[in-house]
Amino acid sequence: MSLTARDVAEIVRVLEESSFDSLELDINGMQLRLKRSGAVAPQNEAAQTRAADRNAAAALMTAPAPAASPVVSGPAGTTPVPAPLLGIFYRAPKPGEPPFVQAGDRVRADSIIGIIEVMKLMNTVRAGFDGEIVQISAANGELVEYGQPLLWLRKS
């Protein structure tokens, strides 16, 4: 028996959504070890996204300098889910795949809502509350600052 990329992706998803921090598989001598604390992205892909991000950021810099404290107000009656760290925000597990969440989705506190990349290290971001997503405010592939609202949800 061998594992396809799709199988590995499925196993990763299972681990992500479980309450475990690591997973080890041994199938006829083929070993797979997974740890939750962050994974290293494939080199070429990471390099591409970084180069792309540099260009995007360069374009941004021609706009007037943003205020030190971004205006934090979302739709009435909603709560922000802030970025837990500075990095590049990704809405989907991989380019081309559907996003983790969309406006209108109901999420639980432990639902994954995105990934933040810091120097090739991928960190999953969870909703933190049960509720319904009203608005997503951070764009895919964009630099997010610590504390910046990624999305707004109505707590249930």
Q: Which residues bind another protein (CB under 8 A)?
A: 50, 53-54, 57-58, 61, 65-66, 68-69, 85-88, 117-119, 121, 143, 145-148
Q: Please say which residue, 10 or 45, places its beta carbon nearer to another protein.
A: 45
The least CB distance from residue 54 to another protein, in Å, is 5
* In contact, 126 and 111? CB cutoff 8 Å: yes
Q: Please say which residue, 84 or 99, places its beta carbon nearer to another protein.
A: 84
Query: What contacts 54, CB < 8 A, 6 or more positions away?
Result: none
State the Cα–Cα distance between residues 55 and 26, nearest whole angstrom: 43
Q: Please say which residue, 101 or 125, places its beta carbon nearer to another protein.
A: 125
* In contact, 90 and 117? CB cutoff 8 Å: yes
The least CB distance from residue 57 to another protein, in Å, is 5
Q: Is 22 exposed, middle or buried (0-12, 13-18, 19+ CB in 10 A)?
A: exposed
Q: Please say which residue, 42 or 64, places its beta carbon nearer to another protein.
A: 64
Helix (H, G, I), strand (E, B) or coil at 50: helix
The least CB distance from residue 142 to another protein, in Å, is 9
The least CB distance from residue 25 to another protein, in Å, is 29
**What separation in angstroms does the CA of 41 have from each of 48, 102, 117?**
11, 24, 9
